[in-house]
A and B are shown apart, each in its own frame.
Chain A
Amino acid sequence: MTAARRASAYLTTHARTRLALLLAAPLTWLVLVYVVALAALLVTALWTVDSFTGEITQTWTLDNIVTVVTGALYQAVTLRTIAVALLVTVIDIAVALPIAFFMAKVASPRLQRVLVVAVLMPLWASYLVKAYAWRSVLAEGGVADWATGGNSPGFGLPATIMTLAYLWLPYVILPIYAGLERVPDSLLEASSDLGAPTAQTLRLIVLPMLWPAIIAGSIFSFSLSLGDYITVNIVGGANQLLGNLVYTNVGAANNLPLAAAIALVPIVIMFVYLGAVRRTGALENL
């Protein structure tokens, strides 16, 4: 009892010790799991693999990074991956905006709760189950074939984009919904009282306030698509994305250094993306 009292008395007067104790555990975790893992990745990219024994040789070389930057294969796959991620993001935002607007501004409180649950519901099912469900939807004689009269897109990049857009939709709807909740109804009413048509209200009042939320949603869908390799494996036909190259180099080729070098590509893309977003000022309003 007295020991506890003494400790708390000590901590009251020593703010720095208090802070250190409070942050020690989470910081250790962050450093170990995040910074060290990332540094390990960077370092591995600079090593090579003995092609026969498969052991990593610690000779410093930039070969892997040069290969990834200059190789036609890696350039093509990087562009394909960015295109897929962008399309998924655009589709998700286009679908999420009206749904989120309805949820936040039109639906009754009761319906609103039901809709939030409905949006969250797919997250309860496993990612793999959902991807395989899309495989059977898009397969020969599947639902897509039946609905389009035999014109199902089949397996390939369009199938990958559709499946990814479906998988990440809740992550885009939720931030946009939360953002719309913060737009006061009074502003919309004032705008319409002053004679602004709906389109103008949306463009000049809602969109600027909603921008940070849209950016937040796009970060989710863009970064998740950038790293995906399972969906494209299941519904992507013979196509490969950056994630597949990383996966085959770790698994099949047993070339960890090259895999690490390839893994740096999405990291760089995300840094560029976040940098661009930061310049728009959207991050400050999150």
Chain B
Amino acid sequence: MNHNTARRPALLAGLAIASVALLSACGTSAPSGSGGGEALDELGDTEGAVSILAWPGYVEDGSNDPDVDWVSAFEDDTGCEVTSKTYGTSDEAFSLMKTGDYDVVAASGDASLRLVAAGDVAPVNTDLIPNYDGIYDFLKMQSWNSVDGVSYGIPHGYGVNLLMYNTDVVTPAPTSWSVVFDGSSTYAGKVTAYDSPIYIADAAVYLMATQPDLGIENPYALDETQLAAAVDLLKQQRENIGEYWSDYLKEIQAFESGDSVIGTTWQVIQNSVTTGNTAVVLPDEGSTGWSDTWMIASEAEHPNCAYAWLDYIASPEANAQATAFFGEAPSNQAACDFRDDCEAYHAGDEEYASQVWYWSTPIADCLDGRTDVTCTDYSAWTTAWSEIKG
């Protein structure tokens, strides 16, 4: 018995060394340059399947609601069987794309550039997508869907993060974000906020209006002092937060039960609440928002079906169905012929679209053009977010 126990540590050490050596030998390589792979020159036969990663409500095949289905028509037309997965935050999408399991991703601006930089998505040859011509020009080749004049995807839709409130409890109807920041103690324990570092930008938008001395020009370009001010504001808000949400179903349920009565939301959540005692408003300070892009994985197993999906979802009818269901403005100019609520979303209103701060990845080179300071990057925001939550 004794000689066995004496030998065990040596054996364990040997195993540990062997596995470390093995890991170092086949570990990950150094980061690659920007963009992965080449854009296709021409299309081939479709592969019979395509796997899609998207926000909830973007890829509906009738399984959630029999009347909401634009995937079946695509499957019938192209023979590409669609499998889809939804995600709750851009960060989740970013790490899911690292698995290499998806051909297509619908990415917001705070994920798209990171996906390009990490080489996870390939350039998209827009000549192979006939419906690209119908997309609003002010959405094409923007900083969140192209790099150095190369297109990395097809615009899908855009929208605004709104303020949702329980009409029974919150009176008078709010017109400012101050009810969830400086005045959040009125609804202590019932305030909700989006559980992602990108929510820091919402605080920055509020600070742009209320503390002009800070000199914030762009909520995604914050230097150390500006970030600290936003973090202070959010820490103060944290004391009155009931719960954070990233799963939109959790927020729907929290508003229906009354556990949350005020906080940031998406139009689709307002559309899904069944109790009828909630309302949404775009506060006076403006807001953050998203402008989403369909992108193709650089290692896509089904590139032809992926192109077929990009073309299909950019077509007026499918684009109208998908964006109407999610509650956002469509990207196709003709999509409004297929939906009657375009005005509410200011579809095609370039002026309105320019007032929304679309999600963008914060990087060290300040996005607002300042060169005399270094801005805080996304990893600093992530650390700050953990600290805010405490």
Contacts and interface: CB of A to CB of B under 8 A. Distances in A.
Interface in A14-66: 31, 35-36, 39-40, 43, 49-58
Given A43-B20, A253-B91, A51 B378 contact: yes
A154 interface: yes
Contact of A139 (B31, B257, B387): B257
B196 A252 contact: yes
Interface stretch (A3-11, A114-122, A207-215, A243-251): A243-251
Given A54-B114, A58-B27, A251 B389 contact: no
Given A52-B363, A54-B94, A240-B390, A39 B19 contact: yes
Contacts of B379: 49, 51, 253, 255
B28 A56 contact: yes
A58 B28 CA distance: 8
Contacts of B118: 53-55
A64 B382 CA distance: 14
19 contacts: A31-B15, A40-B23, A43-B23, A52-B117, A53-B119, A57-B31, A58-B24, A139-B258, A140-B258, A140-B259, A154-B189, A236-B243, A237-B243, A251-B95, A252-B89, A252-B196, A253-B379, A253-B382, A254-B98
Contacts, number: 111
A52 B91 contact: no
B14 to A, nearest CB: 11
Nearest to A40: B23
B47 interface: no
A13 to B, nearest CB: 22
Nearest to B117: A53
Given A51-B378, A240-B389, A39 B91 contact: no
Nearest to A72: B387
A237 to B, nearest CB: 5
Contacts of A253: 91, 197, 379, 382, 386
- Chain A interface main SS type: loop
A248 B388 CA distance: 13
Given A57-B31, A252-B91, A254-B94, A73 B386 contact: yes
B259 A155 contact: yes
B16 interface: yes
Contacts of A238: 238, 241-244, 389
B377 interface: yes
Nearest to A142: B257
A251 B12 CA distance: 32
B258 A35 contact: no
A251 B92 contact: yes
